[in-house]
Structure 1
Amino acid sequence: MSDVLSPAKQSLTPANLVAVMDQYAEAPAHSPIFDNLKHHVVKPTTNKSGVVMKELALMGHLIIRGNAENAAFVEGVSRVLGLALPTKPLTAETNDVTSILWLSPDEWLVLSSADMIYDIEVALREKLTGHFSIVNQSGGQTVIELTGVNVLDVLKKSTSLDVHPTVFPVGKVVGSLLAKSSATYYHCGENQWRLIVRRSFADYIWRWLMDAGKEFGLVIEK
């Protein structure tokens, strides 16, 4: 993280005065995937565990919109996040705590820890000028992570996307259908995928993936 962020929750300057809410100021918040479902026992049809599934619950989600051809905008976002803003379609940039996912030519999703996302938003609003938009979607989305040697087999049962590594390499991001819902697919590592899903469909998608992974010995990680 760049030193643009101050350690304290700071106020916005009058010129940039916007109502900014820290969605995780008072814990505990409720995960989109309820504990009794998340920890539900899966009865796999094999003794071999080829897929591990877990929810990366209560992460910070910011949607940023702006002009990728505006050097000041690109530099400002990059300086605050300590990551280059990905301007190439379907790509992402990531470090140990934060990821920036390209969603469209003028739209990006920032994923970071819950305790950092408020300060990130404040710093972005203080750093950026001109025409831009920042929306905190932390309460409206969640992330499901799948790892293991059979992850592609589960995804092939769930989407029409070509998820073969030659077509969908590590670092690629695509929004598409997932069963009868939708998700943003992020291939974040070898045999590791993150699915960003809407809160209202999280229960359905979790159940779908539990069923799709049974034959591969899916294990749910708390």
Structure 2
Amino acid sequence: MAEQLLTDITRLRRSPLADLQAQMAGASVSGARGVALREIPFLTMVGIRVAPGSPAAEEIAAAAGVPLPTGHGQVTGSPEGTAVVWTGPDEFLLVGPQDTGAAPTGGTGLSTDPAVPGLVRALGGERGAVVDLSANRTTLELDGPSARAVLEKGCHLDLHPRAFGVGTAVSATLGPVPVLLWRTAEQTWRIMPRASFAEYTARWLLDAMTEFAAPEVP
């Protein structure tokens, strides 16, 4: 009964950018100036607070299957699997594929995966927190040779590889929107706004991509 109820709830989910899927696909540009935008919906996101170096931190790392990052901008693990992003001196964000760590919902005790209860058990009685944040953000992926140029129109960080290499993730501002910005490959970036800002962020990016669809003037 509980599993059937969970399945029914999952079918009702609608991503924050469901209405923009066709527009994002149609805005993709190929070639040397190419850039593409898509949403990666429903990624698992778990907020973790724990004292670095503590026994609880070691237990949480073992439960997550990847070590906790140790400094600003660092990410451990893999964007294709489970990764942990450093978000503060004792704060981390675990990011995983869809339905790999959603916390129990309400008072039903439902969970799509035992990962979160396992993290809670790993924390034990130590000071800290393990919180399901999967519905808090969505994930946009910007990819292509012009991806960095698009971001540079509204992000004041130095995004050059010498300062922002592959595997770096930091809190940033894109236009007026706070986001988590994660460079997952040489020409690929994940932009993670809060769900309530997702449509604004996507439309901002679509507008910034427009010039790359036009022929380059000699």
Per the normalisation by structure 1, the TM-score is 0.81
What is the identity, as a one-letter code, of the residue corresponding to 2:99? D
TM-fit CA distance, 1:157: 0.5
Is 1:74 matched with 2:57?
yes
Stretches of 4+ moved more than 3 A in 1? 22-25, 41-49
Q: 2:119 aligns with which of 102, 121, 124?
A: 124
**1:72-221 residue pairs with structure 2 within 5 A?**
72-95=55-78, 96-118=80-102, 119-129=114-124, 130-217=126-213
Structure 1 runs not aligned, ≥5 long: 1-8, 10-21
Structure 2 runs not aligned, ≥5 long: 103-113
What is the identity, as a one-letter code, of the residue corresponding to 1:136? D
Which range moves more in the overlay, 131-140 or 47-56? 47-56
Give percent identity, aligned residues only: 28
What is the identity, as a one-letter code, of the residue corresponding to 1:59? L
Aligned length: 196
Distance 1:56 1:104 in 2: 24
CA separation of 1:102/1:46 partners in 2, compared to 1, >3 Å: closer, same or farther?
A: closer
What is the identity, as a one-letter code, of the residue corresponding to 1:113? P
Distance 1:124 1:24 in 2: 26
CA separation of 1:41/1:189 partners in 2, compared to 1, >3 Å: closer, same or farther?
A: closer
TM-fit CA distance, 1:214: 1.4
Higher RCO by CA contacts (8 Å cutoff, separation 6 or greater) = 1
What is the identity, as a one-letter code, of the residue corresponding to 2:43? M
SS at match of 2:13: coil
Note if contact 2:25-2:37 (Cα within 8 Å) is conserved in structure 1.
Answer: no
What is the identity, as a one-letter code, of the residue corresponding to 1:66? V
What is the identity, as a one-letter code, of the residue corresponding to 2:183? H
Distance 1:104 1:195 in 2: 18
Deviation sequence 1:164-185 (CA, Å, 0-9, x none)? 0001011111111110111111
Distance 2:98 2:49 in 1: 21
Distance 1:57 1:199 in 2: 10
Per the normalisation by structure 2, the TM-score is 0.82
Deviation sequence 1:144-193 (CA, Å, 0-9, x none)? 11111111100111211110000101111111111011111111111111
SS at match of 1:115: coil
Which range moves more in the overlay, 74-83 or 194-203? 74-83
Q: 2:34 aligns with which of 30, 42, 50?
A: 50
What is the identity, as a one-letter code, of the residue corresponding to 2:209? G
Partner residue, 2:107: none
TM-fit CA distance, 1:46: 7.3
Distance 1:46 1:78 in 2: 40
Note if contact 1:43-1:214 (Cα within 8 Å) is conserved in structure 2.
Answer: no
Distance 2:39 2:24 in 1: 15
Q: 2:47 aligns with which of 35, 47, 63?
A: 63
Q: 1:29 aligns with which of 8, 13, 17?
A: 13
Distance 2:59 2:166 in 1: 26
